[in-house]
A and B are shown apart, each in its own frame.
Chain A
Amino acid sequence: MEPFVFLGNKSGASWMTFALILCCAVGTCELQEPKPTVPNDFQTVSPTQDDINKPQVFPEKEKTNLPMFTLHYSRIQVPFEFTMWVLLASFAKIGFNIYQKVTIWIPESCLLIGIGLIVGAIMHSVKEEPPAVLSSNVFFLYMLPPIVLDSGYFMPTRPFFENVGTVLWYAVVGTLWNSIGIGLSLFAICQFEVFGVQDINLQENLLFASIISAVDPVAALNVFDDVGVNEQMYIVIFGEGLFNDAVTVVLYSMFAFMTDMPVVESIDVFLGVARFFVVGIGGTLFGFLFGFVAAFTSRFTNKVREIEPLFIFMFSYLSYLVAELFAISSVMAIIVCAITMKYYVEENVSQRSCTTIRHVVKMLATISETLIFFFLGVVTITTEHEWNWAYILFTLLFAFMWRGLGILVLTQIVNPFRTIQLSLRDQFGLAYGGLRGAICFALVFTLPESTNRRNLFVTASIAIIIFTVAVQGISIRPIVECIKIRRTNKDLNTINVEIHTRTMEHVICGIEDLCGQWGHYYWKDKYSRFNQFHPPHKERKVQNKLKRLPVFIFSLRFKKFNDRVLRRILLRDNRAESSIVSLYKRLELQNAIELLDTPMGDISAAPSLVSLQDEKKEASRPKKKFLAADIKKMHNILSKNMYKIRHRTMVSKYNLPEDSRTREILIRRHASIRRSLRAGSFREQPAQSIAKSQKYYSLQPGGNLDSAFALRRQSHAVSELEHLQSSGASPRSSSRSLVPLKRLNTIEEPTAASEHPGGRAGSGSRGRKPPVPAPRRRSSRRAEEEEENNVVSEHPAGGEEQDPPPPQGWVPENRDPRENEAEDPLLRPSSRRPQRSQTP
């Protein structure tokens, strides 16, 4: 029996929790069993009149005395059962997330279906009915919106708009291709008498095909996220999954309408096509409308922070419902609404509300999806099936075939229009990642009962979902990894290769950020190519580029429009820098400071100490021999703990965007500033701020002290500021406003002006982003205060650092041959001027 195969694989913990919950659930059910009035259908959503009037009394009595103990189960039945289902599904999720290995190899949806199968089997054995959740209304009004909202809200906007053409191409044309292809092929199959399905006509086949053509790329996304596919590919998969939901729902409703028609005329087909566009574009418009209203509302919520997040949910839901009211694409409406409002809302609302919004969106979506897959398992066991080998196998075959063909053909068409082409490997990933999921399942259950061969359709859909989720979902990771390995040929990398390649990845990522390749710069590049002369052989390319011109102009126009109009209307205060960004930065900095202020938090200082000691014994270090196991461990550490480059961890459907690594990087980088300040300041010479900051990298070979490090210099600027401030009359204790900083900057100007006629370099950016330096300043001042107390205790260490440099060309931190000359802050720049004069 299938469920118990799953049981064998299941971790003990999940089984336990599951059993526990089940006991509760079944227990409550069995309490009801002896009751004569409600035989078997106490799961019905609306309790009968009888139930309400007659409280269930324990034990049964003839006379109605005041009951000692009563149960009002029918009263709480619906919410109670709902809660139990959610809990059960959530416990299952906890269960298999305890053992991460399981979810790496088997997608979560697959496990959920497995658990659902078990529960279904148990329910079936006690003759239980499945919950009534799977009506069309429940799914479309309550379960689908959170999922779509989540995808829309967490859609990485810029890469998405970069690839919007490809995404829509795959989503719209690809879904049409699949539906029509599968539908027609199945219709052809139906003509054969041997298979016994001649009664299914063309419309019904098309309807069924539209149901199973919605792909749900969650499993594929998770795999690609881990394996690390390029961003382009990721967004294509993500967007396709999102928009083909919309397309599928539209197609479904269209075909469902057509199946009811006795005869389909050509005008109906034409109207259907027209309706397709009306529905899609109408949904988009509603989305825009509500998105802007939501953004506009969030402008005024700063006094009612408690309910701030609520607006976001209510407006997106409203957009969904209103779109539903007009029978246009509600999925499109909510996606567009989420994309539209996100940008403005996140700037308007407080940081906390923003976090809340993200978490709640994620939570609702996860639970909806979990429940859907869970119910899928349950329903598989408990519904009536009509198994027709031929039809189901051909469905599987055609679904697979048309998907693969579709991707192949569509990519050939779209590739010439792309700057970055989709490789064959990408195409394979796209095709093989086409798992069927929640939408497919829900749609097939919304088929009206009267549909011809409904049970066959249900069975076939469930079969294709389970097949794709189980077989493709499990095998996609090994296959993708296998392809990747073959491609990059990294059978056994050396430690060197691993380190260096990651370094290079970071460098590329950093340089890309530096060049700002996204956004309108990208289009600007495309655009400026028109202005240049073109060699004749580039003519064709130019023509391709020309096709992008409208998009480019649109994006430029939009940017202008956005800057001039939208931002003014929709944002509370129209600052140049996105407030969320600076706020985030500030918070991160505060975090960093707090972390460092706790006694044990000062981890970052440890490495330098260690390396200091290490330096001493280095001379006598024996050549270490490494065992194979050690090396394997190193590879492990490297692959697990190296910071991933930014793009890859950007979006993940199941997880919130992970910022812990970013946080850690920020903390560390600011920690090192602080460390440098602390270590330097016990010398109590204000003039040595530059020397202090040299500590950031302890590697300071004698000759090139001035070389290269930005942070060092920046912290130099900061500590200079700080020095000025602390020597100034008023040490503003906790004011972290922009004003004192600006004034400080101007105070500082005379010193800096002598070396830079153009004015202080940092002042521009610093003025623009006031919150950033502020906490740093506070931290370092505090550090100095601390230092005053700790002078004695830190002196020994200082003495050590004063030692002559070790021979290895590595100088202990803070060693600067010039640091003793530089006594006066005003003198120092002049002593450095000769060097700068070499600058061309």
Chain B
Amino acid sequence: MGSSSSNLNTIPNSQELMQETGFSAAHLLRLYERFEFLDKDNKGHLRPEDFEAVQELSTNPIGDIIIGSFFSPGQETVDFPSFVRILAHFRPAEKNRTRDGAQPEPANSSTGKLKFAFQLYDRDRDGKISREELLQVLRAMLEMQVTEEQLESMAERAIQEADLDEDDAISFDEFKKSLEKVNIDHKMSIHFMK
């Protein structure tokens, strides 16, 4: 793993990253170790295969989508800063502390989290979840015994529920509205990143 000797100095731009993502030094260090661990050949970046090597991810029904979310369009690799920036979405939001105001919208705000969730569906990044996009995710998440017809009617229904402007797709605002009852910060946070 080669991580035992690493400290904060080995991470490039660590201060900026900490500023930007709000991770503590310890977290950053640990994420860096994990990053190095996943990066088997010390390339300095991760490829989808490296993610696939994580055993549990391959049994996650939407594992592909999760992995995919780390790679911005057109890129086949993700470097450490981007890796951390993605993970910053899952940091629990601070309750009482106000941020310095430099960043208007930190990744771990509930809007940031929602945006991340939205992008999981919105594969083509056109700002809308189409019926097909929804269906893709549904198909992956439901057991095989559910018929395609049932899936479709569920997707149909979901769109009808959320679709306010009747364009047969869910925009981000509609998405946000449909989830307004859900405690996003609770749902989309990972406790150990506190």
Q: Which of A615, A624, A646, A765 contacts B59 (CB 8 A)?
A: A646
Cα-based distance from A181 to B111 in the complex (angstroms): 51
Q: What's the dominant secondary structure at chain A's contact region?
A: helix
Would you give 26 A-B contacts (Cβ < 8 Å), ordered by A? Answer: A496-B161, A496-B170, A501-B182, A502-B141, A506-B141, A508-B188, A509-B56, A510-B56, A516-B34, A528-B29, A611-B148, A615-B132, A626-B157, A634-B157, A637-B154, A662-B59, A707-B68, A707-B74, A709-B64, A711-B64, A713-B47, A714-B49, A756-B43, A759-B41, A762-B47, A808-B130
Give the residues in chain B near A810, CB-CB below 8 Å: 130, 132
**Nearest A residue (CB) for B118:** A500
Give the residues in chain B near A610, CB-CB below 8 Å: 148
Residue A522 is within 8 A (CB to CB) of chain B in the complex = yes
Q: A507-B62, A664-B144, A765-B50 are in contact. Are A708 and B123 (CB under 8 A)?
A: yes
Stretch of A74-82, A134-142, A695-703 that contacts chain B: A695-703
Contact B40 A626 (CB under 8 A): no
Stretch of A7-15, A189-197, A831-839 that contacts chain B: A831-839
Contact B142 A641 (CB under 8 A): yes
Contact A514 B74 (CB under 8 A): no
**Nearest B residue (CB) for A230:** B191
Cα-based distance from A707 to B120 in the complex (angstroms): 12
CB proximity to A under 8 Å, residues B59-111: 59-64, 66-69, 71-77, 79, 87, 90
Cα-based distance from A840 to B99 in the complex (angstroms): 28
Q: Could you list 18 further interchain pairs (A-B, Cβ under 8 angstroms) beyond the known A503-B121, A504-B184, A836-B75?
A: A419-B191, A496-B179, A497-B178, A513-B55, A515-B34, A638-B142, A643-B141, A696-B64, A699-B136, A710-B51, A711-B64, A713-B49, A758-B43, A759-B43, A761-B41, A763-B41, A766-B49, A836-B76
- Chain B count of residues within 8 A CB distance of the other chain: 99
Contact A713 B76 (CB under 8 A): yes
Contact B188 A507 (CB under 8 A): yes
Q: How far is the CB of A840 from chain B (nearest CB, A)?
A: 7
Contact B154 A638 (CB under 8 A): yes
Q: How far is the CB of B129 from chain A (nearest CB, A)?
A: 10
Q: A496-B161, A509-B60, A511-B90 are in contact. Are A529 and B26 (CB under 8 A)?
A: yes
Cα-based distance from A509 to B90 in the complex (angstroms): 11
Give the residues in chain B near A664, CB-CB below 8 Å: 143-144
Contact B182 A500 (CB under 8 A): yes
Give the residues in chain A near B34, CB-CB below 8 Å: 514-516, 521
Chain B interface residues (CB < 8 Å from chain A): 7, 24-27, 29-31, 33-34, 37-38, 40-44, 47-64, 66-69, 71-77, 79, 87, 90, 117, 120-121, 123-126, 130-146, 148, 150-154, 156-158, 160-162, 170, 175, 178-179, 181-184, 187-192
Give the residues in chain B near A36, CB-CB below 8 Å: none
Give the residues in chain A near B148, CB-CB below 8 Å: 606-607, 610-611
Residue A603 is within 8 A (CB to CB) of chain B in the complex = yes
Give the residues in chain A near B130, CB-CB below 8 Å: 808-810
Q: A525-B192, A610-B148, A704-B125 are in contact. Are A499 and B49 (CB under 8 A)?
A: no
Q: A522-B192, A643-B142, A836-B76 are in contact. Are A506 and B61 (CB under 8 A)?
A: yes
Contact A706 B132 (CB under 8 A): no
Give the residues in chain B near A133, CB-CB below 8 Å: none
Give 1 or 0 for each of A606-629: 1 = CB within 8 Å of chain B CB.
Answer: 110011001100100001101000
Contact A809 B126 (CB under 8 A): yes
Give the residues in chain B near A642, CB-CB below 8 Å: 141-143
**Nearest A residue (CB) for B50:** A761
Residue A666 is within 8 A (CB to CB) of chain B in the complex = yes
Contact B41 A764 (CB under 8 A): yes
Q: A497-B178, A637-B154 are in contact. Are A521 and B61 (CB under 8 A)?
A: no
Q: How far is the CB of A606 from chain B (nearest CB, A)?
A: 7
Q: Which of A499, A511, A515, A707 contacts B158 (CB 8 A)?
A: A499
Cα-based distance from A765 to B135 in the complex (angstroms): 32
Give the residues in chain B near A502, CB-CB below 8 Å: 141
Q: How far is the CB of B103 from chain A (nearest CB, A)?
A: 20
Q: A503-B141, A510-B60, A709-B68 are in contact. Are A765 and B120 (CB under 8 A)?
A: no
Q: A528-B26, A662-B59 are in contact. Are A838 and B64 (CB under 8 A)?
A: no
Size bracket of the A interface: 35 or more
Contact A646 B154 (CB under 8 A): no
Contact A643 B143 (CB under 8 A): yes
Contact B52 A714 (CB under 8 A): yes
Cα-based distance from A507 to B66 in the complex (angstroms): 6
**Nearest A residue (CB) for B60:** A510
Contact A707 B146 (CB under 8 A): no
**Nearest B residue (CB) for A525:** B30
Give the residues in chain A near B170, CB-CB below 8 Å: 496
Residue A524 is within 8 A (CB to CB) of chain B in the complex = yes
Q: How far is the CB of B146 from chain A (nearest CB, A)?
A: 5
Chain A interface residues (CB < 8 Å from chain B): 419-420, 488-490, 493-497, 499-517, 521-522, 524-525, 528-529, 531-532, 581, 585, 603-604, 606-607, 610-611, 614-615, 618, 623-624, 626, 630-631, 634, 637-638, 641-643, 646, 661-662, 664-666, 668-669, 696-699, 701, 703-704, 706-711, 713-714, 717, 756, 758-759, 761-766, 768-769, 808-810, 835-836, 838-840
Q: A665-B60, A668-B144 are in contact. Are A704 and B74 (CB under 8 A)?
A: yes
Give the residues in chain A near B67, CB-CB below 8 Å: 709-711
Q: A500-B179, A626-B153 are in contact. Are A525 and B142 (CB under 8 A)?
A: no
Give the residues in chain B near A522, CB-CB below 8 Å: 192
Contact A506 B66 (CB under 8 A): yes
Give the residues in chain B near A615, CB-CB below 8 Å: 132
Give the residues in chain A near B42, CB-CB below 8 Å: 758
Residue from A500, A611, A714, A808 with most neighbouring chain B CB atoms (10 Å): A500
Contact B52 A711 (CB under 8 A): yes
* Closest CB pairs A-B (n = 4): A710-B48, A701-B124, A764-B40, A708-B68
Cα-based distance from A334 to B131 in the complex (angstroms): 55
Q: Which of B7, B49, B190 contacts A765 (CB 8 A)?
A: B49
Contact B52 A761 (CB under 8 A): no
Cα-based distance from A704 to B71 in the complex (angstroms): 11
Give the residues in chain B near A516, CB-CB below 8 Å: 34, 37, 54
Give the residues in chain A near B52, CB-CB below 8 Å: 710-711, 714, 765
Contact A661 B144 (CB under 8 A): no
Cα-based distance from A835 to B75 in the complex (angstroms): 8
Cα-based distance from A79 to B73 in the complex (angstroms): 70
Contact B57 A717 (CB under 8 A): no
